Amino acid sequence: MNVYSPSLPSVSLRGDSISNVAQLRPSFSQLAGAPAISEHTGPAPLANYYNSVIYNSDFALPPTKYYTLSQRMELIKAYSERVVTHIKNIESGSEGERNVKFQQIRKFLEPAGYFSGGLLAAGRDPHEKFTVTFRSYTGRGSPDTLTGTEERTYFAWEIAAGALQHDKVPRGGPINFQFMHIEPKDRSTIDELESLGDSLQSHWKEDVATPMRDASGGLASRSGKADAYVVRGTLQSLVNNNDASGLLSAEGLAAINRTLQKNGQVIIPNIYGYPMAGYAFIPFSEFDGNYANRPNKGVIIDLKNGSAREIHSDADFADWAKHNRDNILNSFNASDKQGGKDAHWPKAGDVLDTLIAGSNATYPGYQNLVKDKEVPVGETFNYTESRGGEYRLKFGDLNAGIAAKFQEVNAKNALWSDQTEVFGSSQQGWKAAKELWSNTFGYVPIVGNLGNVVFGIHDAIDGMTADDRVGGGAAAVISALQLAHEILPVGGEVEPGEPVPTINRSQTEQYTWRRSSRTNEIELQTLPKYKTLDDEAPISKPHMADVVPTPEGTTSFSGMREVEIRGNHYFAAEHPDAGDGVHFILYVRDTKNPEKLRSSYIIAGLDKKGDWKERGMVGVDGIKRYFSKKHLQARDSLEEVAANYKQRLHPLSGEEQLKLTEKFKNLLEGSNADQYPLVEGYVEAGSDTVNGPLRSGRTSPEIENFLKEFYQMTVSQEKA
């Protein structure tokens, strides 16, 4: 059976003045506006949710160079207010809904997600790279001898989070000299990023870090309950899905069913006592409290990335850890990653790497109150003999006990994340992003003006490919699946008189579990609507002669339907996927690999007669392709007003002329067109350079930059 996503609680994405608009690229003032949380419970895919928090919009807007610093600051302020609004809205609705809402906003409660999302909101590319050169010299009174040169590359979001501030070196004393060189072309941008970072850091400290690190606070408490909910949802999804249950052994299924049906034991796995946040372990045989009976056999679950694997031995765990090394390292809190207190507290990453390498290393372990014994590194998985209470094996039942353990681990991770990973800390050297941070938000262009915000942009395996690990959003998806399971009776039928659950199956994405041949893990995946050969669809538009239409009678692809335009056959998704809620991207069978589809770079839709028509052919239809429903309605309204005016029998009266003059004055005073040089140039110099390409259906960097400005202009509610 397939697994379906339920309707997620959605968010009103627009300002009050245009709240009835279904499709509209926002103006600058709307982007900077705070959202109202809607009680509507229709479908809200994660991509839409990310857009609503980052942009206050349905649309993912590409980075732009045209905002001023003050505008970017305004957008960051509005972004931070939206995050706070969503946090405040978590504790409303049913318990399941609260867990879903926490998991939706959770990516913004982690430093990497918060800072990368903030830069996207401000119109900056969080993954723009900057290389800085550090040089050290020795000399007496002056730098005479070069002793070292190092180049370090930073992402824009790392600079905003304080990485470069951390690495900036002091001048040194009379013997040693240290210098930092930034390329002249990058200096102003880096200065701006650090200014934006100062604002983001201030909001982060007050709005997110402080409540998250309060171990007994509401947000930490919800994080524990939400993690326990994801465990339940993952186990329920695995046993409900025929594909997944067939991939589990009898022993694995028995452990899962025991946990679900008899409130069985859940363990937070550890390595040498260092707890792995974001993971759960379902033992084949429950831990009895005897430290000699180390529970090293069972099913390990990655809550954040939606995967599970059976572990039958310490060697199995080492193999799994090898494939998940970076995610596991990120699960340790920064205090444990630093280590160093004594021999019983080595760096967590060093223990992990030693375990993966399979060396004969040993670590000091408990023998009795006064004596240690040597513990082979291969036996440090789910270690039970720590002397420190904080590092003893954490376990509990699914209904209540394990939530408090998750809460404790999450709060400690948040505490150390705030103290040592952000804001230029001097307590540790800055490490590679993959090791220090969780995944980030990034803008990924698709085709033409279309684009997506992706969480986990660094890892194609976590969400950039078309067939597609749910990746970093798995916890929210699984929570929503569990919510659907709870509110929808078995068989999907509702008794007469019962309220009908607000789950629209026809509009939601489908998910299933499949085994990865590379890692031997069972992974939650989206049932693909289409496949492409590349991780990212190309942006450039090829000559139409290069596109081979799909021949008639071809085999269907899951989630796609065959359509015909002017005698040519294509594939289209079941629901609009061209970004405007109306049109579809058309696909054809790839000539090199007939088992896959590729984009034809044609966008089409159904007309009133139900016939398929390409978007943006010539003339007025060419320009229509760029405009939302609201703009098209305004155009129709303009034609109506113009037609009525032509039919007037008498000229405007003096009073009507005064009213019209007042309207023009209000329009001029309320316009922000002078903030956008391309719009201003278009108005002053005529329309040929813009309208010509638009009406012919062509695009170019100049046209796309003009459109970026156009969509940021103030929207007027006046009639023409």
The pLDDT-based confidence of 695 (bands split at 50, 70, 90) is low
Cβ–Cβ contacts within 10 Å for residue 226, how many? 26
Contacts of 359 (CB under 8 A, 6+ apart): 377
| Separation of alpha carbons 21 and 315, rounded Å | 57
| Separation of alpha carbons 85 and 642, rounded Å | 43
Query: What's the pLDDT at 283?
Result: 97
What would the mean pLDDT of 577-598 be, rounded to a whole number?
A: 74
| Separation of alpha carbons 576 and 585, rounded Å | 8
Query: What's the pLDDT at 663?
Result: 76
Highest mean pLDDT among 119-123, 487-491, 574-578: 119-123
Better-predicted residue by pLDDT, 491 or 192:
192
Q: What are 595's two structure tokens?
A: 């088992």
pLDDT of residue 133 exceeding 80:
yes
Query: What's the pLDDT at 578?
Result: 63
The pLDDT-based confidence of 170 (bands split at 50, 70, 90) is low
The pLDDT-based confidence of 122 (bands split at 50, 70, 90) is very high
Query: What's the pLDDT at 681?
Result: 66
Better-predicted residue by pLDDT, 282 or 439:
282
- Residue 175 buriedness (CB in 10 A; 0-12 / 13-18 / 19+): exposed
Model confidence pLDDT, tens digit, residues 547-556 = 444 554 445 6
Q: Please tell me whether residue 344 adopts helix, strand or coil conformation.
A: coil
Query: What's the pLDDT at 717?
Result: 63
Q: What are 451's two structure tokens?
A: 């684009």
Query: What's the pLDDT at 184?
Result: 92
Query: What's the pLDDT at 638?
Result: 65
- The percent of residues in the chain predicted with pLDDT above 70, rounded, is 67
What would the mean pLDDT of 423-450 be, rounded to a whole number?
A: 56
pLDDT of residue 348 exceeding 60:
yes
Query: What's the pLDDT at 58?
Result: 75
> Residue 470 in contact with residue 463, Cβ under 8 Å?
yes
Highest mean pLDDT among 40-54, 118-132, 484-498: 118-132
pLDDT of residue 632 exceeding 70:
no
Query: What's the pLDDT at 14?
Result: 27
Query: What's the pLDDT at 533?
Result: 31
Highest mean pLDDT among 20-34, 178-192, 405-419, 452-466: 178-192
Residue 223 Cα to chain centre, angstroms: 18
- Residue 71 buriedness (CB in 10 A; 0-12 / 13-18 / 19+): middle
- CA-based Rg of the chain, rounded to a whole angstrom? 28
Tell me which amino acid residue 545 is.
A
Query: What's the pLDDT at 542?
Result: 36
Query: What's the pLDDT at 138?
Result: 82
> Residue 63 in contact with residue 443, Cβ under 8 Å?
yes
The pLDDT-based confidence of 605 (bands split at 50, 70, 90) is confident
| Separation of alpha carbons 473 and 480, rounded Å | 11
pLDDT of residue 333 exceeding 70:
yes
Residue showing tokens 């229509």: 624
Dihedral sign computed on CA atoms, order 88, 94, 95, 98 = negative
The pLDDT-based confidence of 434 (bands split at 50, 70, 90) is very low
What would the mean pLDDT of 163-168 be, rounded to a whole number?
A: 79
Better-predicted residue by pLDDT, 511 or 288:
288
Query: What's the pLDDT at 606?
Result: 82
Query: What's the pLDDT at 684?
Result: 55
CA distance to 36, 41, 403, 651, per residue, from 89 (Å): 10, 14, 21, 55
- The percent of residues in the chain predicted with pLDDT above 90, rounded, is 28
pLDDT of residue 174 exceeding 70:
no
Query: What's the pLDDT at 699?
Result: 64
| Separation of alpha carbons 269 and 290, rounded Å | 16
| Separation of alpha carbons 41 and 94, rounded Å | 12
Query: What's the pLDDT at 652?
Result: 66
Model confidence pLDDT, tens digit, residues 355-407 = 999 888 999 887 777 677 889 999 999 999 887 777 889 999 998 899 999 99
What is the DSSP-derived secondary structure letter of residue 25? P
> Residue 641 in contact with residue 720, Cβ under 8 Å?
yes
Torsions phi, psi for 526 (to 5 deg): -80, 135
pLDDT of residue 459 exceeding 60:
no
Residue 342 Cα to chain centre, angstroms: 39
Candidate from 237-246, 580-589, 648-657 with smallest mean pLDDT: 648-657
Candidate from 254-268, 325-339, 599-613 with smallest mean pLDDT: 599-613
Candidate from 280-284, 443-447, 520-524, 566-570 with smallest mean pLDDT: 443-447
Model confidence pLDDT, tens digit, residues 223-272 = 999 999 999 999 998 988 776 767 899 999 999 999 999 999 999 999 99
Q: Please tell me whether residue 665 adopts helix, strand or coil conformation.
A: helix
Cis ω on the peptide bond leading into residue 468 (within 30° of 0)?
Answer: yes
Written in H, E and C, the secondary structure of 36-87 is: CCCCCCCCCCHHHHHHHHHHCCCCCCCCCCCCCHHHHHHHHHHHHHHHHHHH
| Separation of alpha carbons 669 and 532, rounded Å | 48
Query: What's the pLDDT at 382?
Result: 96
Better-predicted residue by pLDDT, 278 or 658:
278
| Separation of alpha carbons 685 and 674, rounded Å | 14
Return the ∠ at Cα 221 (arms to 220 and 225), rounded to 5°: 115
Query: What's the pLDDT at 421?
Result: 52
Query: What's the pLDDT at 130?
Result: 93
pLDDT of residue 120 exceeding 80:
yes
pLDDT of residue 463 exceeding 90:
no
Tell me which amino acid residue 352 is.
L
Of 558, 513, 528, 508, which Cα lies nearest the Cα of 468?
Answer: 528
Of 388, 391, 387, which Cα lies nearest the Cα of 368?
Answer: 387
Mean pLDDT of the chain: 75
| Separation of alpha carbons 443 and 367, rounded Å | 53
Return the ∠ at Cα 408 (arms to 275 and 462), rounded to 5°: 55
Written in H, E and C, the secondary structure of 528-596 is: CCCCCCCCCCCCCCCCHHHCCCECCCCCCCCCEEEEEECCEEEEEECCCCCCCCCCEEEEEECCCCCCC
Tell me the whole-structure pTM to 2 decimals: 0.66
The pLDDT-based confidence of 46 (bands split at 50, 70, 90) is confident
DSSP 366-419: EEETTEEEEEEGGG-BT----SSGGGSPEEEETTTHHHHHHHHHHHHHHHHHHH
Better-predicted residue by pLDDT, 104 or 694:
104
Highest mean pLDDT among 285-294, 466-475, 586-595, 637-646: 285-294
Query: What's the pLDDT at 541?
Result: 37
What would the mean pLDDT of 699-713 be, rounded to a whole number?
A: 72
